[in-house]
Structure 1
Amino acid sequence: MSDTTPTVQFLSAEGELAPTESAGEYSSYLDRLTDDDLRQFYRQMAIVRRFDQEGTNLQRQGQMGLWVPSHGQEGAQVGSAFAAKPQDHIFPSYREHAVGLIRGIDMLAVVELLRGNTHGGWDPTDPTNGNFHGYTLVIGSHALHATGYAMGLQRDGVVGTGDDDVDAAVLCYFGDGATSQGDVSEAFVFSASSQTPNVFFLQNNHWAISVPVTVQSRTPLYLRSRGFGIPSVQIDGNDVLASYAVSAKHLDDARSGKGPQFIEALTYRIGAHTSSDDPTKYHDLEQHNFWVSRDPIIRFEKYLRSLGEGDTFFDEVRIEAEDFAADIRHRTLALTPPAPATMFDNVYSEPHPVMQEQKLWLERYEAMFEEEQA
């Protein structure tokens, strides 16, 4: 199984525009991009890389119980996120920091979630959060949630109307490990049967914690969905242009009523699965170095410089990223523990008698200690 030669690629590892033959049908989507769009691609990748580094530092300093790195996967996330329209709905797994940033999530909410201060981090129904649904730590389960939501969009009549401002799709992210979960296969069954407007976006970072993708599957993962009747394509996940163009095309197809689509983005998890993991125990150094040399940010910087972008822009982005990380650190250190009673809030969308009774019991219990002290 080839795990390093993607089907669709626009930028070579050296940052040169060198489209593969199969990239041809997607080339027109790059015509949509302005010079400012290209700069935004780089800016968002650089900011989220610095945010990710700061998250790791904060966890190591005791500010969070867990951190989930995204280092190395910025190209796949930024390109696909920019391809989504405001009315689309995003169902992430748990390391889609770049997607959340682009959709308008306050990144402190990710810190609060992994710190244990909140149940879910943010309200997906809040318009300012860009239809970005909650992080899902139960591997693969959200593929079913995404499919159910897409079925709802069909019933709401916002698929295949021909109105670009109305038609919507659901973009669902997961990793290679999730493809081994039954929930994902079940999602494929329901999605294909109902021809839902789903785009399943697999970030194949080559590791399900410590299990390599070559053990998980004897065939390329992008072929799996075809057995369910879902068309698929494999791309260079470290090429932000490929991620954007392919995602834009297949999201258009899903919105127009052509049914579910599947994208496998070949990338690599440079660091640990989470901060509780030690990748040096199982990473192959040669493979690791191969992917480090194909870093999506360095590659895109080379491309932008070939277009005439100079040091001033890259210096500005570096400063912006440092300021962003400093702000996250400052606000993280200012966080205080939530009131214990908030654990009962938002468990259900409406008031629930069991939650109300448990909340009252806790209030009475705490009041006992206040009376003793008095």
Structure 2
Amino acid sequence: MSKLFEPTQVGDIAVKNRIVMAPLTRNRSPGAVPNDLNVEYYRQRATAGLIVTEASAITHQGQGYADVPGLYTKEALDGWKRVTSAVHEEGGKIVVQMWHVGRISHTTLQPNGGKPVSSTNTVAKSKTYLVNPDGTGSFAPTSEPRALEASELSGIVEDYRKAARAAIEAGFDGVEIHAANGYLIDQFLRDGINDRTDQYGGSIENRARFLFEVVDVITKEIGARRTGIRISPVTPANDAADSNPQPVFTYVVEKLAAYDLAYVHVIEGATGGDRAFQQGDKPFDYQALRAAYEKAGGKASWMVNNGYDRELAIDAVESGRADLVAFGKPFIANPDLVQRLKNNLPLAGLDQATLYGGGSKGYVDYPALETAA
């Protein structure tokens, strides 16, 4: 049997296999509060070695899409306690992905209808998901953002710290810092977005400053071995771009090596798309990225993501190229994905129409194999 299906240790988290359920936005938590449907959805998928929840806003300001969960109200945290309890009852492990969307938001989702905040005043060529007055959902262009003052950033860093503490108190086994896919931390990292001239702009070191302020407070608050981080070196998601991503992310992982993190989660290529996608003059070298991390002393589990199937995942783990493999959309239609992969059984197809918003249809009604049979 492949190592993919064997137990391993991820920081302080013991997992029963190396298959990870990737974070998947599903827009089924009205009022930013996890509910009965969310409890059942995660319970059904608890055979994953590790579940990374859908991205969850650290504050109201960090909210960017309708009906996604949060980590900033008592009601939301009580809802998450029910989710973590359900997953633990099934023998699973679960971490929450901590999210501040930055400019990928809309004024109707912001406190007092204010502008979303970012590293820049430039509007993203992107869309967000809103719920219309009649209850239907639709995608709309993101609103014009406001560039954060340097003096405001310490407050957002404090919001991350509070949310990390709240997550642990809600029963999560750890947290994942969302530094990928063109959201707030990524908006500081990338020179295609960050046009600042202060200590948070210009050089790679300056552009990464906010990221490491966040990593510092979270690891001090809950422990580095319960902290993971997600990066996406070349994704164009949410209008993210960098002219030369290799040195940016080499700097990031070399500095992350100083923390005893649980894992580093790397999206290879364009999120949900072409694994060979590149930005800059040459293809991104993911093996060189990991080598740089390990040379700098990094020991966290290395998690890979994007377009992995059974064969690719087994090869990644057997070859030592990765310690963990995250699967996204296959987990939506296959709550028993681990069993199907282990036994090389066919995967169920996905209903695209029910991906975002709605109720139980296309959310908790995909049958496990024995049920389907």
TM-score range, shorter chain: 0.3 to 0.5
Indicate the structure whose relative CO is greater, using CA pairs within 8 Å and at least 6 residues apart. Answer: 1
Q: What's the TM-score, normalizing by structure 1?
A: 0.35
Give the strand-richer structure, 1 or 2.
Answer: 2
